[in-house]
Amino acid sequence: MELLDIPDVAGELGDRFRAAGHGLYLVGGSVRDALLRRGSTDLDFTTDARPEQILEIVAGWADTTWDTGIEFGTVGLRRGDDTLEITTFRADQYDGRSRNPVVRFGDTLEGDLVRRDFTVNAMAVEVHSVPGERRFVDPYGGLAALAVGVLDTPATPEESFADDPLRMLRAARFVSQLGFTPADRVTAAMTAMAGELTRITRERVQAEFTKLLMGAHPRRGLELLVDTGLAEHVVPEVPAMRLAIDEHMQHKDVYTHSLVVMEQAIDQEEDGPDLVLRLAALLHDVGKPPTRRKEPDGRVSFHHHEVVGAKMVRKRLRELRYPKHVVDEVAQLVYLHLRFHGYGKGEWTDSAVRRYVTDAGPLLERLHKLVRSDCTTRNRRRAAALQRSYDSLENRIAELRTQEQLDAIRPDLDGNAIMTLLDIPPGPLVGRAYKHLLSVRMERGPLAPEDAERELRSWAAEHL
């Protein structure tokens, strides 16, 4: 009985290597995911053949080959719809200052596997088209670790993380994605070596952090980052929230509250993981520690923490090299997340509701989810009252949207009409008139054409 299924394309390729006197092995995450019955489009192979021999073996069989990674022993190829990577056995050495190895090719599969990040990724299976003769290679106990969900390293974790500190973030990412538990020695090494993460570029750190956030168990991954001190080198604002008691006095700290909010936001996702929503939920209260004040009555306040927090979020996400649209959207959600609490018992005017929708723009549905998730009080009566208030606000929004197409609020006169009525050329003055009419539209709702013209002429009499 076969331990795992081997794709036909891998069997064909393995036969070519076998005929040439070389072995070909499916390796790493490809094997791990196959054993977990997780769908994976990645097919990674290792072989004793050198790069120039690999190119000779696949010549005439591969539709396309590329050698951009050949200095690291990797040849890429495409066969039909399949994309494959084949890497010569490696026995690299690292300088301890960067994560760039001094590439040295190895001679044994076991020597190649020991340099991999974790035992669950250090398994290999020989590929060719003869099922009964395929060899499963697991010298470091990866299958046993996979069975119990333990994350350990083939070599000592100190050696592994010294070679590539990014592996510490990968450990937290696998905790989030796969629900693994790191071995005690792995956690100890991550804690002792957290500072080594500074050797890694911000782009690579961000990529791993994003994968962690998008995993099935992001809270577990984040808690590992915080507990080991790695978070101080990725998002220091998150562990800093452990110092602040929230204003409801219902949580030990704002950090725990934020993790709960993130989990509640995830429960509201409808079309798969939403990076912007998850970041906003995690970071919505990062402005609390610097705005924490003890009031005369003994309560703790965090006045304007949404404003401070939005600035902090923008700075941190830029530093992590997130795309501009992610930075802007997360910062705007953080800035707006408290706006609802001014709604009170529903006494907002229509103009206030319009401004709420207009300021949220395309983020409105995410804002709904974030605000609802931000209710973590254990007081059931208070929680129910907050949800009823937000239901009321959403109903108001729906009614206004039906009445006046709230999603596309525009002044009652466009720029061309303004220039015609005032007999002025394009320029800043048109923009100022446009903003005035937009403000009037927000406050009073739609105007009849003659009323809009009257408002414009009244404004022009004072400003022209």
Q: What is the pLDDT of residues 425-441, one digit of tens each?
A: 888 888 888 888 888 88
Asked if pLDDT for residue 391 goes beyond 60, the answer is: yes
Instruction: Provide DSSP, 357-380.
Output: HHHHGGGHHHHHHHHHHT---S-H
Closest alpha carbon to 336 in 298, 292, 366? 366
Residue 1 in this model has a pLDDT that exceeds 50: no
pLDDT tens digit string along 307-358? 999 999 999 999 999 999 999 999 999 999 998 877 666 678 888 888 888 8
Rounded-to-10 torsion of CA 249, 251, 254, 258: -130
pLDDT digits (tens, 9 = 90+) for 135-174: 899 999 999 999 999 999 999 999 999 999 999 999 999 9
The pLDDT value recorded for residue 155 is: 94
Residue 223 clears pLDDT 90, i.e. is over it: yes
319/421: higher pLDDT:
319
Residues 11-28: what's their mean pLDDT?
94
The tokens describing 171, both together, are 């450990």
pLDDT at 247: 53
Across the range 88-96, mean pLDDT stands at: 73
For 413-442, letters b (16+ CB in 10 Å) and e give: beeebbbeebeeeeeebbeebbebbeebbb
Quick: pLDDT tens for 204-214.
999 999 999 99
Model confidence at 251, pLDDT cuts 50, 70, 90, reads very low
pLDDT by residue (tens digit) across 29-81?
Answer: 989 998 988 866 678 999 999 999 999 999 999 999 998 888 889 999 999 98
C-alpha closest to that of 20 among 42, 46, 45, 53: 53
pLDDT value of position 445:
78
Q: What is the mean pLDDT of the chain?
A: 88
Rounded distance, CA 373 to CA 363, Å? 15
DSSP track, 13-66: HHHHHHHTT--EEEETHHHHHHHTT------EEEESS-HHHHHHHHTTTSSEEE
pLDDT bucket at 411, cuts 50 / 70 / 90 = confident
Q: Using an 8 Å Cβ cutoff, are 261 and 281 in contact?
A: yes
CA 461, CA 287: separation in Å to the nearest integer? 44
On the question of pLDDT at 99 being above 70, the answer is no
Q: According to the model, what pLDDT value does residue 48 have?
A: 95
pLDDT-based confidence at residue 2 (cuts at 50, 70, 90): low
Structure-token match 């021999």, residue found:
53
Spatial distance between the Cα atoms of 342 and 326, rounded to a whole number of angstroms: 27
State the Cα–Cα distance between residues 444 and 452, nearest whole angstrom.
Answer: 11
**Rounded Cα distance, 2 and 132, in Å:** 8
The one-letter amino acid code at 344 reads G
What is the percentage of the chain residues whose pLDDT exceeds 90?
Answer: 56
DSSP states of 174-230: HHHHH--EE-HHHHHHHHHTGGGGGGS-HHHHHHHHHHHHTSS-HHHHHHHHHHHTG
Give the span between the Cα atoms of 4 and 32, in whole angstroms.
10
Alpha-carbon distances, residue 429 vs 295, 414, 415, 424, 461 (angstroms): 46, 13, 10, 8, 13
